[in-house]
Structure formats: C-alpha cells, structure tokens
Amino acid sequence: MTFRLTCPVCGARDVYEFRYGGQERGPRPEQAQLSSDEHFRWTQFRMTRPEPQEEWWYHTGGCGVWFTTWRNPATNREEPPHEVERG
C-alpha cells in the first residue's frame, strides 16, 4: 500500500508527492583532509538497518520544502527513532 509522509508545511500527503533525498548523515566531510577511500565511503556506502532512520525528503509536488523525517525501511512508514545501544 502507498503511504503518507508528514510535510512540516502541508501536513500528511501521499508519498508520491515527495522526492526521496537519502539518509541524513551529518555534514559533508571536509574535502581537504579526505582520503579517496573515505570519499567513496561517504558518497556511496550506506547502512540500511531494518529500523527507523532519519532521512531527507523534498516536497516536489507541494510547497517545495526540504525536510527530515524518521521512517522505518522495514515497514515503509514514518516512525520515531528506536532507543538502541550499539557497542
């Protein structure tokens, strides 16, 4: 089934109104100190756990705002972050 995302301006809207912008991963690393290995890891490597992740979306079919929300790839629905401890 399709699902809805919550735009901070327009409220809950059909997911096909939005463009997916990928996981939120903090600021882009400083280019000057970046090794090629780190560069490729940052640009291409991802960890997609089956649990809520923070990600970027663009409301292309609506107000045109970029925003972040938490969504769970295991269920495809918005879901607040889990409290997980990892060693």
Partner 1 sequence: MKRLSPSVSSIDHSHTKFGRLWKTRPLKRHYDVVIIGGGIHGLATAYYLAKEHSIKDIAVLESQYIGFGGSGRNTAHVRANQRTQQNVKLYDEGLRLWPILTDELDFNLMFFNCGNLSLAHSEAAVSGFRLAINTATFSGVKSELLDPQQCKEVIPALDISDRPAHPIQAGMYHPPGGTIRHDALVWGLAKGADKHGASIHQGVEVQGIDVDGPRVTGVQTSHGPISCNKLAVMAGGYGASICTMLDIELPIHPLTIQAMVTQPLKPLLNCVLSSGAYHVYANQTLKGEIATGAHMDPQVNYTTDVTAHYFKHQAEALTDFMPCLEGVRFLRIWAGLADMTPDMAPILDGNVMFDGLYIDLGWGYFGFKSGPITGKYMAEFIAREEAPEILAPFALSRFLENRYMGETATTMKYGHWD
Q: Please give the residue ranges that form the binding site for partner 1 (CB under 8 A).
A: 1-3, 15-16, 19-23, 36-37, 40-41, 44-50, 55, 71, 73-76, 86
Separation of alpha carbons 60 and 71, rounded Å: 18
Count of other CB atoms within 10 angstroms of residue 53: 21
CA 14/CA 25 separation, integer angstroms: 25
- Between 21 and 81, CB nearer to partner 1: 21
Q: Which is nearer to partner 1, 27 or 50 (CB)?
A: 50
Nearest distance in Å: CB 10, partner 1: 18
